[in-house]
Structure 1
Amino acid sequence: MAGLQTAMSGIKNGTERVLTQAINATVKTMKTQTRMRIGNELNLTAARISKDLTTKKASFGHLSGAVIARGRPVGLVSFGAKKYGGGRGKGIAVKVKRSGSRAKLKHAFILDGMRGNTPGSRGNRQVFFRQMKGGKRVARYQVRTLHGPRIEDIFASDKVRKPLETQAAHLLARNIDKGIADTLRRFG
């Protein structure tokens, strides 16, 4: 920081300008890297992962940025759920982890546009399971939506977060060096 402030001493808001540009460039790249790392862990499309990722950009008054993951648990239908067993079927097979194999959920089923008060089920395709009593399905019992993990939980895991933090630190240092050179060239 001392070197940056010395280099930018003759330029109005030079330090803030360089830091803002470097942080914003780093955040943009890290959002893509985060999406890729989470995609290596979960069997989801990049578009579905991006839906739960946002960025917070830096400004002259607030010199920090972040990649933020927020959202509800992802419905199992997003993990490539499909029927198995033929005919009326025995259930649903789904692959949640990229490295794992398909898990079979006996008696689970997929419905489109389920009407009811089950959270997250209104007007979209989901995987459901009827609640059971004594090991048997009871027709009058309510169905519940089945979910996989949340994007933010995978993002918070050490396996994903720590390499991203290291990569972000190196990228920020490189972007600051580039920002200093560009600003000095621009302002003489």
Structure 2
Amino acid sequence: MLRLNTGPSAAAWTAWLGCMGPVMLALNVALGALCAVFITDPDLQVVGALGLVPLVLLDGLIVILSVQYYRGAFWLDGRTLVRRGFPGRKRYDLTSAEVTVESAQPLWTPWRGGVLPRLTVRTSGGGTVRMWLRDPVRRGALLPPDQLGALAQAIDPWFRHPVAGRLRQLAADPLHGTL
């Protein structure tokens, strides 16, 4: 299986979980204890209960962002696109899928450079998956030429599909002749 350079790397996950985990644990313990003190006082029960609401919302937001970033990793297994999911991995057969490219503005990322291209794969019964060809998590970096070529080959080994042909051209000349 060929790992595509999409989504956070293992080092980024280690930093994310290694830093965010202890900070969130300390925040939850401190604010949870403070809210528990308020809840035990009959006059401040409402304040204690209301103090838990932002804490629960923040925890939920961090879980949603973590799952979304976790699902950003892709592999190629022959002519099958594999997406890391929660739980397990999801497979998308590129031989029978409708493959297109679209431009979109990334949300929930540090990228602020405008729209980026992303591959859209629609399968009958398997749903739709979208994969960035320029990764917003990595400052808009394009997939390496060997990975673009492998993706083009997986879509159509004869490069007759328009997306496969364009990916092959991009893999052959990623700088568009600027050098």
TM-score (norm 2): 0.25
Bigger Cα Rg? 1
Q: Which has the higher strand share?
A: 2
Higher relative CO (CA 8 A, sep ≥ 6), structure 1 or 2? 1
TM-score (norm 1): 0.24
Q: Which has the higher helix share?
A: 2
